[in-house]
Amino acid sequence: MEAAFSRSKSQNQDRLDLSRKGSVDEDIRSVVSLLNGCEQFFTTSSCSGRIIVIDGAACSGDVHKQDCVWLLVSHQKCSSEDVMCALSRSSRDAVLKFEPFVLHVRCRRLEDAQLVHSAAVNSGFRNSGITVGRTGKIISAVRSTHGLEVPLSHEGRLLVDDDYVRFLTQTANQKMEENLRRIQRFYQNLQSALSAERLAVPDAPSEPRSGRTAGRGASEQNPRSRQREAEGFHGDLDLDDCLDLFT
Amino acid sequence: MEAAFSRSKSQNQDRLDLSRKGSVDEDIRSVVSLLNGCEQFFTTSSCSGRIIVIDGAACSGDVHKQDCVWLLVSHQKCSSEDVMCALSRSSRDAVLKFEPFVLHVRCRRLEDAQLVHSAAVNSGFRNSGITVGRTGKIISAVRSTHGLEVPLSHEGRLLVDDDYVRFLTQTANQKMEENLRRIQRFYQNLQSALSAERLAVPDAPSEPRSGRTAGRGASEQNPRSRQREAEGFHGDLDLDDCLDLFT
């Protein structure tokens, strides 16, 4: 089982990034490098958090993003002008969403997944959970309850005024700031948990010296130094893409 | 471990329902009875799905519901008049949310949690996950990506017009309908998975005849027949309340 995990990890390191963006988001490179520097973890998909405006058919189910036109995608705070400009191109039903940080970490053992899960929940990511697939793949998913989903146009017609769009953009930006604070807490909580684990088990096979040095060096001194390795098996997939791996 | 699980299950059966509502929501009694009729499961909290309007201080983090005034709580579809009436009582920042079905199921073994998880994901509840606590408690959490969170007033001043509230209410009601379809699929998928498990392991200790009969009888013939038992250890807790149990 552990040999299979190591094989999967190295295979993922060689894989191309198939995400729309094609790289790890700037704000989570330290977290991603810290985890990928530990031999008991590798990350399979992530998004630091984003404000999006998508234009699709009104439906009673989920908006299927592949059927939508993406009018705006911002991984940083944005202005109400950005949102208004996006809405001016709506021809169907436009929805603004704030989607918080999401991260999927493949873990070697259940205890490893629990370490990530505790750090995530203690950092405010309360929708986090562990998924164990039929083939025994263990994934710790870091998720937040901290979203926003607001219908703004119907059949291309704007449903709200400029003042509302300004207020909504400010609200989305505040959520983006809080999301970043939680990511920083998660990074610190992960570091503490990994250090405590090393103290408890000096020769812990779950995290060899080389992995620690690489992971911490990468994140504390040069966040980009392990970027290529990280991008090699990273994505910005939708949650259903991720869960397809295990069900 | 299994003896400890059985003790916890019977202790929970004797516990009072501490939720605000004090009973299991009508639309999920069959699912709850089916699970609680199996000796390898018991449910610890649930909500069938609801449309709420809460009035609280604008903040960059999550809205902490305990600090909010609940202007509207509906576990059924509601009218735009209901929402307008709720908004007329807003004195701070009111937000309308559609919160889909959520269920937390304590499971005896990891394989039991995987059965619930697969049924949930295959029914469209794609944010579902398994949580394993430090003490070994295994919880399968059934969650959906299918929400709505819309700011509607700021410092008591309405930010949108009546037409928008009508459109938003219609959208929330459509999500409620889709949510109910998914709950029905989840019930059917759970029944099939439990039947397949019984066929695979005729003397499966994970679900004795008595449990099966009670669970299936309750759900197929008389959804209310096991209601009292279900209510004895049921709640309509917020997600953080649930996760507090395991982290």
What mean pLDDT is reported for chain B?
A: 79
What mean pLDDT is reported for chain A?
A: 79
B46 strand-pairing partners: B103
Give the distance from residue A70's alpha carbon to the nearest chain B alpha carbon, in angstroms.
19
What one-letter code names the amino acid at B212?
A: R
Is residue B4 within 8 Å of residue B156, measured between CB atoms? no
Closest-CA residue in chain B for A166? Answer: B159
Distances in Å between the Cα of B13 and the Cα atoms of B20, B212, B215, B222 are: 18, 17, 15, 19
Closest-CA residue in chain A for B129? Answer: A129
**pLDDT of A222 above 60:** no
Give the C-alpha separation, B130 to A101, whole Å: 19
Closest-CA residue in chain B for A242? Answer: B126
pLDDT single digits (tens) A147-184? 899 999 999 999 999 999 999 999 999 999 999 999 99
3.40.50.10470, 2.60.120.620, 3.30.1960.10, 2.102.10.10: which CATH number matches B1-195? 3.30.1960.10
Is residue A190 within 8 Å of residue A116, measured between CB atoms? yes
The per-residue pLDDT for B133 is 74
- Mean pLDDT of the region A105-125: 94
The per-residue pLDDT for A58 is 62
Q: What DSSP element (H or E) covers B153?
A: strand B153-154
B49 conformational bin, left if phi > 0, alpha if psi -120 to 50, beta if neither? left
Of B213, B210, B161, give the one whose Cα is nearest residue A163.
B161
- Can you give the length of chain B in residues? 247
DSSP-derived secondary structure for A1-21:
-HHHHHHHHHHHHHS---SSS
pLDDT single digits (tens) B101-156? 999 999 999 899 999 999 999 999 988 888 777 788 899 999 988 789 999 999 99
Which residue did the predictor score with more confidence, B150 or A216? B150
Q: What angle do CA B94, A125, B128 make, to 5 degrees?
A: 95
Closest-CA residue in chain B for A182? Answer: B61
Give the distance from residue A140's alpha carbon to the nearest chain B alpha carbon, in angstroms.
9
Contact B160 A163 (CB under 8 A): no
- Mean pLDDT of the region A127-135: 80
Partner residue opposite B151 with nearest CB, options A128, A171, A240: A171
Give the DSSP letter of residue B133.
Answer: -
Percent of chain B with pLDDT over 70: 73
The per-residue pLDDT for B152 is 98
Give the C-alpha separation, A79 to A85, whole Å: 10
**Residues of chain B contacting A87 with CB distance shorter than 8 Å:** none
Contact A124 B60 (CB under 8 A): no
- Mean pLDDT of the region B68-79: 95
The per-residue pLDDT for B16 is 60
The per-residue pLDDT for B8 is 86
Give the C-alpha separation, A51 to A233, whole Å: 24
**pLDDT of A212 above 70:** no
The dihedral of CA A27, A33, A38, A42: what is its sign? positive
ipTM: 0.75
The per-residue pLDDT for A133 is 74
The per-residue pLDDT for A27 is 86
Give the distance from residue B225's alpha carbon to the nearest chain A alpha carbon, in angstroms.
32
**Residues of chain A contacting B164 with CB distance shorter than 8 Å:** 159-160
Give the DSSP letter of residue A206.
Answer: T
Phi, psi dihedrals of residue A226, rounded to the nearest 5°: -110, 15
Give the C-alpha separation, A44 to A40, whole Å: 13
pLDDT single digits (tens) A43-96? 999 999 999 999 997 654 455 666 789 999 999 999 999 999 999 999 999 999
Which residue did the predictor score with more confidence, B241 or B23? B23
Q: At what angle do helices B29-36 and B209-220 cross, to 10 degrees?
A: 170
**pLDDT of A207 above 80:** no
Q: How crowded is residue B220: how many other Cβ atoms within 10 Å of its Cβ?
A: 12
**Residues of chain A contacting B239 with CB distance shorter than 8 Å:** 126-127, 145
Residue B157: burial class (beta carbons within 10 Å; 0-12, 13-18, 19+): exposed
Percent of chain A with pLDDT over 90: 56
**Residues of chain B contacting A174 with CB distance shorter than 8 Å:** 59-60
Binned at pLDDT 50, 70 and 90, residue B66 comes out as: low
Give the distance from residue B137's alpha carbon to the nearest chain A alpha carbon, in angstroms.
12
Here the tokens at position B204 are: 């499966």
Contact A127 B143 (CB under 8 A): yes
Long-range contacts of residues B224-229, Cβ cutoff 8 Å, at least 24 apart: B224/B29, B225/B33, B226/B33, B226/B36, B226/B37, B227/B23, B227/B24, B227/B29, B227/B33, B229/B13, B229/B36
Q: What DSSP element (H or E) covers A107?
A: strand A93-107
The dihedral of CA A47, A226, A180, A182: what is its sign? positive
Helices then strands, counting H and E runs in chain A, come out as 8, 8
Compute CA B136 distance to the chain's CA centroid, rounded to the nearest angstrom: 22
Q: What is the CA radius of gyration of chain A?
A: 19
Give the distance from residue B8's alpha carbon to the nearest chain A alpha carbon, in angstroms.
22
**What are the percentages of helix, strand and coil residues in chain A, rounded to 5?**
45, 20, 35
Partner residue opposite B178 with nearest CB, options A60, A171, A240: A60
Contact A150 B154 (CB under 8 A): no
For chain A, the maximum distance between any two Cα atoms, rounded to a whole number of angstroms, is 63
Binned at pLDDT 50, 70 and 90, residue B25 comes out as: confident
Closest-CA residue in chain B for A143? Answer: B127
- How far is the first Cα of chain B from the last one, in angstroms, to the nearest whole number? 19
pLDDT single digits (tens) B164-204? 999 999 999 999 999 999 999 999 999 999 999 887 765 54
Contact A177 B62 (CB under 8 A): no
Contact B61 A146 (CB under 8 A): yes
B70 strand-pairing partners: B54
Helix ranges (H only) for chain B are 2-14, 29-36, 80-87, 110-122, 162-200, 209-220, 227-232, 239-244
